């Protein structure tokens, strides 16, 4: 067993940490989130230069062939900086989907362009009104005159505001299982409603009305790729949460030492000291589970992977909630202001908890694995 | 012992409901039920409707134009109007400064201010907290110096208040100010009423985490306040402030509001689907909802017990602080559950009116439009009105004697 990063991973971590320090201070982030598009091409390109986009792309596909642990290293740093560029939406998800769900020919070139930061591809999966449902899709594809077209409504598409291509999950006719399609966002029948998310990342609701689509991989055989990609997103979110929580923990402990009431630091009160200890405990337990999920992404067995990832998402979801809420509480009034960074960390943690399955959803999924065993 | 309403009380509830349905603007009710923001006029329209009916002075004695209702009637009124989607009556005038004026103000002050609070002519805000004085309120520094000139005795006020809720709408602010630095901190504080239009008063918005303008900084730069705006005696303000805080605590439990949220959650949980079934069929979610309802019922009965004890002039006992703690926690649980029900539809942030303005089909469920913002916003409930940590300290010291 080995819990340390290798030299390359340590170097990657240091590079990203420097990027956050130099290019992603809270003020710089503020400028980005307040801009019209709400994210920064310049910062996106910098991440690409560092190699973050090519990292999860396999070497065969022109990438760096990084592992789940490499992704964990990246995500933790992005979390520390509350980076709003759609790394999960336009790198983790499409890379995982294309790698698992498209043939060599179909993905040739595309993965390379994602890896260089040139192309932005998003995953339109969540059907309106279907919560965290992974399999029972409402979006339908039809085949006529030698071509597919798609009709349906997808919500909360990460990076759906800026992507030029969409990977869309849909069922063809009465198929039992999902298929995966490629759709141009500029195509006829595609309408986007872009918006900021609650945590200042951007996304979109997208409606498809007979939108022309290209089938990727085999018809009705995309579920495994979809599951893999959503698990990859969950593992990435878990690692990101570690970055967010560790910053928030640090900021809060510092505040306990400096804010004075009743003539002494508020951190002198045992009630608050114990709260801070519990925050730390949540953080450390989460860190362990983020490792579990990262390693599991390389596991050959899909069931084992699912179990580990869901376990991580449950425990980390609970931690996100506790650490976020308590950081706000321990700051008092200033904690609920837009001006201070604390509320922004809190909001990101809240959104991590609500993304790609909340605690209850993953607890149920984990529980089902016990039934099957 | 009987924990149910009797016939008379049920008839009263029916009367309140009918009045509310006939007089509450449905567009305002819709906003309240959805958790949308209300304008100053939204609050005031409902306030004036109640004023006309003689129902605005809930909890006030009849001598001052109040309803004279007993505690159960007050609770029924709160519950039914909340259920119908009525805006909360702003507490700052009606429930905070008015009881202080009644108890400690002079006749001239009572005759001047109380009718204007009832009619809605004066919107009040609360000027207690300062940047350096939150939990430790007695350390407040905003200074009021007494002097006299040809125009009479007055105070010159300098300093800053903060977290002033809806101060941007207010005509008047009641302030705790420092009039002496001798002796114990608590002994140099006075209770002063200040016209927000006075020269030297500046209100600056503080944007909250839900990106809404709900609180403010209020700055005082050599503000001249007539000496007759002092309540009671100089340097006795702390006593009045404490009296007020105990009034704030029972009102802050928010039982009516919680019951409304629960009802809406039932509705939402039946509409939303999880794994192809209504969310209410999901046993995990349903258990959470059931648990919250059970706690809310316990809170409601406890609230009625406390109100009853107050009526009979028995000391309120430990329940008052416990009400604030539990009430705020339940409010947070319920707003969190609403956000959970939304699932991924909780993610988008849409400013009010934006999707109507955009003329684009809004796909993420409309029912959840304000769910996440409300969850964020309600983190305040365990911080304001004396944080829950401070409430626990109070119970520790005054009740448990530890
Ligand atoms: C939305 C909102 C609206 C408000 N509206 C008004 C208003 O209209 N008028 C007004 O005057 N004020 C208002 N307040 C202010 C509110 O009363 C204060 O925020 C509150 O008293 C806490 O003070 P603080 O924010 O300075 O936090 P601090 O006092 O600095 O507290 C920070 C943290 O330390 C904890 N703490 C402090 N001392 C102790 C202790 N001895 N033991 C254990 N824990 C402790 C607190 O519980 C909190 O968790 C409002 C606040 C909010 C958030």
- pLDDT tens digits for range B178-203: 999 999 999 999 999 999 999 999 99
Which residues numbered 251-270 in A keep a CB inside 8 Å of some CB on B? 260-263, 266, 269
**Which CATH class, in words, describes the domain spanning A121-219?**
mainly beta
Pair type for strands A147-158 and A121-124: unpaired
> At residue B314, does pLDDT exceed 70?
no
Q: Does A191 touch chain B (CB under 8 A)?
A: yes
Distance, in Å, from the CA atom of B41 to the CA atom of B23, rounded to the nearest integer, reads 15
- Binned at pLDDT 50, 70 and 90, residue B366 comes out as low
Helix (H, G, I), strand (E, B) or coil at B192: strand
Residue nearest to atom 17 of ligand 1 (CA): B384
What per-residue confidence (pLDDT) applies to B360? 44
The position carrying tokens 């420092």 is B178
Indicate the domain borders of chain B.
7-89, 124-234, 249-400
Shortest distance between the Cα of B307 and any Cα of chain A, in A, equals: 29
Q: How far is CA A144 from CA A107, A138, B107, in A?
A: 24, 19, 85
- Binned at pLDDT 50, 70 and 90, residue B363 comes out as low
On chain A, the residues whose CB falls within 8 A of the CB of B163 are 333
**In chain B, pLDDT over 70 holds for what percent of residues?**
92
Distance, in Å, from the CA atom of A74 to the CA atom of A63, rounded to the nearest integer, reads 16
| List of residues 6+ apart from A150 with CB closer than 8 A | A139, A140, A141, A168, A170, A181, A183, A189, A208, A210, A211, A213
On chain A, the residues whose CB falls within 8 A of the CB of B360 are 191, 193
Q: Which residues of chain A have pLDDT under 70?
A: none
Q: Which residues pair with A59 in a beta bridge?
A: none
On chain A, the residues whose CB falls within 8 A of the CB of B365 are 128-129
Residue nearest to atom 25 of ligand 1 (CA): A333
> At residue B219, does pLDDT exceed 70?
yes
The topology (CATH level 3) of B124-234 is Butyryl-CoA Dehydrogenase, subunit A; domain 2 (2.40.110)
Shortest distance between the Cα of B304 and any Cα of chain A, in A, equals: 28
Higher pLDDT, B353 or A322: A322
Catalytic positions of B, please? 248
Q: A223, A180 in Cβ contact below 8 A?
A: no
On chain B, the residues whose CB falls within 8 A of the CB of A347 are 209, 376
Tokens standing for residue A91: 């790198």
What per-residue confidence (pLDDT) applies to B359? 44
Structural Rg of chain B based on CA atoms: 22
Distance, in Å, from the CA atom of A266 to the CA atom of A256, rounded to the nearest integer, reads 5
Burial pattern B165-190, b for ≥16 Cβ within 10 A else e, equals: bbbbbbebbbbbbbbeeeeebbbbbb
- Binned at pLDDT 50, 70 and 90, residue B34 comes out as confident
Helix (H, G, I), strand (E, B) or coil at B152: strand
- Binned at pLDDT 50, 70 and 90, residue B308 comes out as confident
- Mutation pick for ligand 1 pocket among B127, B128, B129 (CB with most ligand atoms within 8 Å): B129
Residue nearest to atom 42 of ligand 1 (CA): A269
B358 → chain A, closest CA residue: A193
- Flag if B275 and A133 touch (Cβ within 8 Å): yes
What per-residue confidence (pLDDT) applies to A2? 86
> At residue B365, does pLDDT exceed 80?
no
Distance, in Å, from the CA atom of B306 to the CA atom of B317, rounded to the nearest integer, reads 8
Which residues numbered 322-341 in A keep a CB inside 8 Å of some CB on B? 325, 328-329, 332-333, 335-339
> At residue B38, does pLDDT exceed 60?
yes
Q: Spell out the alpha helix ranges (H) of chain A.
A: 7-23, 26-34, 41-50, 68-80, 87, 93-101, 104-107, 110-115, 223-258, 270-296, 302-331, 341-354, 359-372
Distance, in Å, from the CA atom of B333 to the CA atom of B51, rounded to the nearest integer, reads 34
Segment B310-331 mean pLDDT: 79
The topology (CATH level 3) of A224-372 is Butyryl-CoA Dehydrogenase, subunit A; domain 3 (1.20.140)
- Flag if B376 and A333 touch (Cβ within 8 Å): no
Number of Cβ pairs < 8 A linking chain A and chain B: 158
- Binned at pLDDT 50, 70 and 90, residue B309 comes out as confident
> At residue B316, does pLDDT exceed 60?
no
Which residues numbered 220-249 in A keep a CB inside 8 Å of some CB on B? none
Q: Which residues form the pocket of ligand 1, taking CB atoms under 6 Å from any ligand atom?
A: A 259, 261-262, 266, 269, 271-272, 329-330, 332-333, 336; B 125-129, 134-135, 163-165, 215, 380, 383-384, 387, 389-390, 393
What per-residue confidence (pLDDT) applies to B136? 97
Distance, in Å, from the CA atom of A304 to the CA atom of A13, rounded to the nearest integer, reads 28
**Which CATH class, in words, describes the domain spanning A7-115?**
mainly alpha
Calculate how far, in angstroms, residue B383's C-alpha sits from the geometric centre of ligand 1.
Answer: 5
- Flag if B162 and A333 touch (Cβ within 8 Å): yes
Higher pLDDT, B19 or B75: B19
On chain A, the residues whose CB falls within 8 A of the CB of B358 are 193
CB-nearest to A347 from B209, B380, B392 is B209
- Binned at pLDDT 50, 70 and 90, residue B361 comes out as very low
Residue nearest to atom 49 of ligand 1 (CA): A330
Helix (H, G, I), strand (E, B) or coil at A137: coil
- Binned at pLDDT 50, 70 and 90, residue B83 comes out as very high
DSSP A56-75: TS-GGGTS----HHHHHHHH
B249-400 carries CATH number 3.40.50.300: no
**In chain B, pLDDT over 90 holds for what percent of residues?**
74
Indicate the domain borders of chain A.
7-115, 121-219, 224-372
Torsion of CA B372, B352, A338, A346, to 10 degrees: 10
């Amino acid at each position: 067993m080995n819990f340390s990063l290798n030299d390359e991973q340590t170097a990657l971590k240091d590079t990203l940490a420097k990027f956050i320090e130099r290019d992603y201070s809270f003020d710089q982030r503020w400028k980005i989130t307040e801009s019209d598009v709400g994210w920064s091409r310049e910062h996106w390109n910098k991440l690409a230069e560092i190699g973050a986009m090519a990292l999860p792309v396999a070497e065969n596909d022109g990438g760096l062939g990084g592992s789940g642990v490499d992704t964990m290293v990246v995500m933790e740093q992005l979390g520390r900086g509350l980076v709003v560029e759609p790394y999960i939406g336009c790198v983790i998800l499409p890379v995982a989907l294309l790698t698992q769900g498209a043939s060599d020919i179909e993905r040739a070139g595309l993965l390379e362009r994602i890896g260089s930061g040139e192309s932005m591809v998003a995953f339109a999966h969540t059907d309106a009104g279907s919560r965290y449902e992974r399999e029972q899709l409402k979006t339908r594809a039809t085949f006529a005159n030698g071509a597919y077209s798609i009709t349906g409504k997808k919500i909360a598409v990460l990076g759906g505001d800026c992507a030029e291509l969409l990977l869309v999950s849909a069922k063809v006719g009465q198929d039992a299982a999902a298929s995966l399609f490629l759709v141009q966002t500029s195509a006829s029948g595609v309408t986007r409603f872009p918006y900021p998310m609650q945590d200042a990342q951007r996304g979109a609701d997208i409606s498809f009305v007979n939108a022309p689509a290209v089938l990727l991989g085999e018809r009705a055989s995309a579920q495994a790729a979809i599951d893999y990609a959503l698990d990859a997103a969950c593992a990435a979110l878990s690692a990101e949460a570690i970055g967010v929580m560790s910053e928030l923990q640090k900021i809060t402990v510092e505040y306990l030492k400096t804010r004075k009431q009743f003539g002494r630091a508020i951190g002198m009160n045992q009630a608050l000291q114990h709260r801070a200890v519990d925050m730390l405990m949540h953080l450390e337990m989460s860190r362990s589970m983020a490792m579990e999920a990262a390693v599991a992404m390389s596991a050959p067995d899909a069931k084992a992977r699912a179990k580990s990832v869901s376990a991580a998402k449950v425990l980390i979801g609970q931690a996100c909630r506790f650490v976020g809420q308590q950081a706000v509480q321990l700051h008092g009034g200033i904690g609920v202001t837009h001006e201070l960074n604390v509320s922004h960390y809190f909001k990101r943690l809240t959104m991590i908890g609500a993304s790609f399955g909340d605690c209850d959803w993953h607890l149920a999924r984990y529980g089902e694995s016990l039934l099957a065993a | 012992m009987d924990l149910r309403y009797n016939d008379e009380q049920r008839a009263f509830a029916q009367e309140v409901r009918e009045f509310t349905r006939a007089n509450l603007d449905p567009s305002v009710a819709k906003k309240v039920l959805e958790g949308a923001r209300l304008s100053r006029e939204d609050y005031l329209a409902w306030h004036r409707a109640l004023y006309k009916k003689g129902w605005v002075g809930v909890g006030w004695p009849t001598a001052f134009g109040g309803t004279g209702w007993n505690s159960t009637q007050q609770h029924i009124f709160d519950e039914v109007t909340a259920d119908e989607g009525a805006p909360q009556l702003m507490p700052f005038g009606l429930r905070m400064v008015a009881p202080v004026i009644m108890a400690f103000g002079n006749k001239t002050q009572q005759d001047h201010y109380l009718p204007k609070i009832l009619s809605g002519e004066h919107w009040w805000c609360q000027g207690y907290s300062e940047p350096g004085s939150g939990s430790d309120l007695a350390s407040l520094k905003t200074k009021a110096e007494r002097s006299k000139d040809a125009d009479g005795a007055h105070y010159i006020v300098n300093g800053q208040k903060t977290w002033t809720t809806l101060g941007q709408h207010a005509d008047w602010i009641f302030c705790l100010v420092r009039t002496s630095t001798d002796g114990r901190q608590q002994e140099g504080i006075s209770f002063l009423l200040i016209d927000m239009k006075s020269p030297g008063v500046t209100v600056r918005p503080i944007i909250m985490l839900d990106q809404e303008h709900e609180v403010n900084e209020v700055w005082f730069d050599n503000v001249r306040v007539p000496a007759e705006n002092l309540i009671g005696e100089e340097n006795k303000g702390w006593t009045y402030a404490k009296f007020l805080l105990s009034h704030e605590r029972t009102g802050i439990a928010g039982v009516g509001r919680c019951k409304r949220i629960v009802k809406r959650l039932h509705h939402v949980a039946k509409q939303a689907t999880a794994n192809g079934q209504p969310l209410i069929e999901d046993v995990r979610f349903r258990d959470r909802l059931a648990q919250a309802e059970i706690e809310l019922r316990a809170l409601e009965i406890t609230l009625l017990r406390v109100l009853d004890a107050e009526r009979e002039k028995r000391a309120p006992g430990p329940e008052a602080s416990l009400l604030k703690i539990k009430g705020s926690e339940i409010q947070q649980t319920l707003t969190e559950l609403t956000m959970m029900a939304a699932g991924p539809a909780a993610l988008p942030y849409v400013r009010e009116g934006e999707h109507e303005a955009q003329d684009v089909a809004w796909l993420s469920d409309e029912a959840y439009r304000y769910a996440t913002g409300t969850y964020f916003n309600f983190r305040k409930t365990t911080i304001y009105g004396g944080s829950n940590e401070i409430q626990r300290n109070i119970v520790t010291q005054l009740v448990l004697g530890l």
